[in-house]
Amino acid sequence: GLGVYYAAARRDTAGKIDFRTALAIPPLAEALADAASGAAASGAASTVRRFALGIQAGETQLKEGTPTRTWGINGTYLAPTIRARRGETVEIAVHNGLDRETSLHWHGMHLPAAMDGGPHQPVAAGETWTPRWTVDQRAATLWYHPHVHGATADHTYRGLTGLFIVDDPSGDDPAGGPAGDNEASATLNLPSTYGVDDVPMIVQDRAFDGDNQFTERIPLAGSLGVIGDEILVNGTLGPYFDVTTRLVRLRLLNGSNARLYNFGFSDDRSFALIGTDGGLLAEPWETNRLYLSPGERAEVVVAFEPGETVDLRSYPSPDYGGASGRLDGFADRLDVCRFRAGDDLADDTELPAALGDAPDLGDAVVAAERSFVLASDQINGRSMAMDRIDFGVREGTVEVWEVTNDNGYIHNFHVHDVQFQVLTVDGTTPPPHLRGWKDTVLLVPGSRYRLAMRFSDHTDPNAPYMYHCHLLQHEDDGMMGQFVVLADGEQVGAVGAGHDHH
């Protein structure tokens, strides 16, 4: 029953997990036809990187004993990490090998709405969908997951989650990216060897039944969906990571449907936050705790001493506890991953004092202000409707969206197509971890967030982008809306009108 379930969800695992399994590192997706190097030599303007993703059902040995029935991409659980540079065109053949319709959404990506992989780009069972777009944004840790209306929580929970890392063009790749418009993260000497000192960490909670199967949705009052009591990182339960360098960059994704993480180390050491959802911060921020709500990413750099062992954990958050009884479900101290440093640590990277460009929308001319109130599975009193476009924004303008969580339960807010700047929280300067580019922000109950964002290109009056709560059951239950980006003089159209993509 629910009582037992809650008790399980509140279990404090810190210090009780034996970290017996090496942390799995998601493989890098292989580019099928990588024209980038040839084009760089010839100075050609367009390069195409082609990827193939096969969505499939299977079984994965997540625990000892019976394997768990899971979904995966090019594998049975999770998905390969896609990497592309700014300026490159990517073309991704998404084959749906499931017995039902699903989709893949490129979370955090600036791209045409018809390529977004949201509720209006479902891929039928057995079909292949091949979106194509040119990457044009800062280096950042993005990700991808299903986004079919009403089933996002279920499909994502079964295992369809991967990272999409955007890189800046490197010095030897002049083909990529508009000149002078990136923070050239490639020239910073940050830890950047994938899986060695630049480590992806997809953090998820899962609830297993007695037969090692993921439990189906448990209808908690208010529909949070599942809060699991076991933590997987990249699909590994109780993982350890062998550290071989003094500095390690972790690319953390809260890949959970509903659980919040308040990351910290078992010895309370500080670490440096260097990047948020949309890319590098202006400068590193030293902290010993970092809160991530579902869908948010953080890049952090941790320094290790030779021979030491330290655990990454999630700690209860005194900040938001007590806002509602519901939050107690999050208030357990959980083990996440053990780091075991070798006796000799390579030391050839550094943490620069200056990283990227700070978001600069604070003084922009604001074309429109809008307000969004999240409560009771609705936004501004309305539930998501597939055929209703809530509003249009103008290409080339900056808008300020004021977002409020008005019902005492935890929500967050995610906007497709753009990275936004958090201007203020309750009228004051946001804390350091909210000063970088973001596409998803935690909404503390009762607080007011002012978000500034600029809309550019990809206009289409009939193809909407989504904004929604990224607690996936809330999204499925209707806490979502749709907007279109309009060219000068254009009016909001009708969903799907004049399109041949579905």
Closest C-alpha to 442, from 318, 262, 281: 262
Residues 403-422 binding Cu ion (CB under 5 A) are: 411
- Amino acid code (one letter) for 128: T
How many residues sit in the footprint of ligand C2O (CB under 6 A)?
Answer: 10
Site membership for ligand C2O, residue 83 (CB under 6 A): no
Can you tell me the distance from the alpha carbon of 492 to that of 284, in angstroms, rounded to the nearest whole number? 41
Residues 246, 474, 481, 483: which binds Cu ion (CB under 5 A)? 474
Site string for ligand C2O, 178-207 (x = CB under 6 A): ------------------------------
Site membership for Cu ion, residue 120 (CB under 5 A): no
For residue 165, the Cα-to-chain-centroid distance in whole angstroms is: 11
Task: Tell the smallest beta-carbon distance from residue 163 to ligand C2O (Å).
Answer: 12
Task: Tell the smallest beta-carbon distance from residue 48 to ligand C2O (Å).
Answer: 25
Between residues 361 and 385, which has the closer beta carbon with respect to Cu ion?
A: 385
Between residues 313 and 468, which has the closer beta carbon with respect to ligand C2O?
A: 468
Closest C-alpha to 430, from 414, 449, 412, 444: 449
Between residues 341 and 403, which has the closer beta carbon with respect to ligand C2O?
A: 403
Task: Tell the smallest beta-carbon distance from residue 438 to ligand C2O (Å).
Answer: 13
Residues 49, 105, 297, 435: which binds ligand C2O (CB under 6 A)? 105
* Spatial CB neighbours of 242, under 8 Å, sequence gap ≥ 6: 22, 340, 342
Name the binder of 450 from ligand C2O, Cu ion, none, CB < 5-8 A by kind: none
Residues 260-319 binding ligand C2O (CB under 6 A) are: 295
Residues 301, 403, 423, 469: which binds Cu ion (CB under 5 A)? 469
Q: CA of 433: how far to CAs of 80, 205, 272, 436, in Å?
A: 28, 23, 10, 7
Site membership for ligand C2O, residue 147 (CB under 6 A): yes
Site string for ligand C2O, 385-424 (x = CB under 6 A): -----------------------------x-x--------
- Determine the interface stretch with Cu ion among 269-277, 357-365, 468-476, 487-495 (rule: CB under 5 A): 468-476
Between residues 193 and 380, which has the closer beta carbon with respect to ligand C2O?
A: 380
Name the binder of 295 from ligand C2O, Cu ion, none, CB < 5-8 A by kind: ligand C2O
Question: What is the per-residue burial (b if ≥16 Cβ within 10 Å, else e) of 183-209?
Answer: bebbebebbeebbebbbbbbbbbbbbe
Between residues 40 and 135, which has the closer beta carbon with respect to ligand C2O?
A: 135
Residues 459-498 binding ligand C2O (CB under 6 A) are: 466, 468, 470
Angle at 434 between CA 371 and CA 399, to 5 degrees: 35
Task: Tell the smallest beta-carbon distance from residue 144 to ligand C2O (Å).
Answer: 8
Can you tell me the distance from the alpha carbon of 311 to that of 333, in angstroms, rounded to the nearest whole number? 12
Largest CA distance in the chain: 65
Task: Tell the smallest beta-carbon distance from residue 469 to Cu ion (Å).
Answer: 3
Residues 83, 107, 149, 158: which binds ligand C2O (CB under 6 A)? 107
Reading phi first (left if > 0) and then psi (alpha if -120 to 50, else beta), residue 457 is in left
Structure tokens at 188: 């910073």
Q: CA of 406: how far to CAs of 14, 411, 446, 497, in Å?
A: 33, 10, 6, 35
3-class DSSP assignment, residue 36: helix
- Amino acid code (one letter) for 330: F
Please say whether the beta carbons of 168 and 182 come within 8 A.
Answer: yes
Could you tell me how many residues make up the chain? 502
Name the binder of 411 from ligand C2O, Cu ion, none, CB < 5-8 A by kind: Cu ion
Q: Count CB-CB contacts under 10 A for residue 235.
A: 25
Give the binding site for ligand C2O (CB under 6 A): 105, 107, 145, 147, 295, 414, 416, 466, 468, 470
- Kindly list the residues in this chain that would bind Cu ion in the complex (CB under 5 A): 411, 469, 471, 474
